[in-house]
Every structure is written in C-alpha cells, then in structure tokens.
Amino acid sequence: MDWKYLLTSFDGRINRGKFWAGIGVLVALGILANIIDLMLGIRIGGDQGIGILGLIVSLVSIYLALALYAKRWHDRDKSGWWSLIVIVPIIGAIWILVELGILEGTRGPNRFGPDPLG
C-alpha cells in the first residue's frame, strides 16, 4: 500500500478497506502521541490540557483525514467538498460514517478515476 498517496493526495479513489486502514493509522498516531506526552509531562493548559506532541499530531491529522475523506468521497462519485458536512452537529458525523465507512463505492470508473477494486 502506498501510504504517502493514501494520506497526502487528494486525487483518485480508495475503497473502504484502505479508508479504514488510514483511519486506523491516524488513531494509532494519536494514541502514541498522547502516551509520549504523558511520559514527558509537558502539557498546555495545566494538568488537564493537551500535550504539545498531541497538539501537533492533531493538527497534522486534520490534513491527513481530509485527504482520506476526499478520495473516499470520490469513490462515491461525489466531490471532496462533501467533507464539510461534518460541520453539521451530530448528523454530519453520522453522515460521514455511513457514506465513507459503510456504503460501497461506485462500480466501474467514474469522473475521479478507475474503480479501486477494479
């Protein structure tokens, strides 16, 4: 699997398996960053605040997640701008979970490229 393409490119299409693999990597990075922050004991905002490494990983993860979302929306034959649906409280998160994580992509080629299962 080409991780650089998966996590940084906004072009093309990916299937559900690669989408969930990418999400798994982002979750693992977040957990690892928080563990390192706990060991270092450096936190922004006191004892209950976020660690510096956790903050950096969180900010980078926004870009990486948007790249995953865009390619998955493309597989559903929709624009990557549909990622903005997450702004809608509760319904947006459910919509993204169903559309990107559960529903099957468009069969055959579409305007964003060939079928990733092809």
> Could you tell me if 75 and 114 are in contact, meaning their C-beta atoms sit under 8 angstroms apart?
no
How many alpha carbons lie under 13 Å from residue 100 in its C-beta half-sphere?
A: 31
What is the model's pLDDT at position 89? 96
pLDDT in tens, the chain (118 residues): 899 999 999 999 999 999 999 999 999 999 999 999 989 887 887 777 788 999 999 999 999 999 999 999 999 999 999 999 999 999 999 999 999 999 999 999 999 999 999 8
pTM: 0.91
What is the model's pLDDT at position 32? 96
DSSP string, 1-22: --HHHHHH--SS---HHHHHHH
The whole-angstrom separation of Cα 61 and Cα 19 is 14
What is the model's pLDDT at position 45? 76
> Could you tell me if 86 and 72 are in contact, meaning their C-beta atoms sit under 8 angstroms apart?
no
Q: Which helix (H) or strand (E) holds 33?
A: helix 16-40
Strands (DSSP E) along 1-118, which ranges? 43-44, 50-51
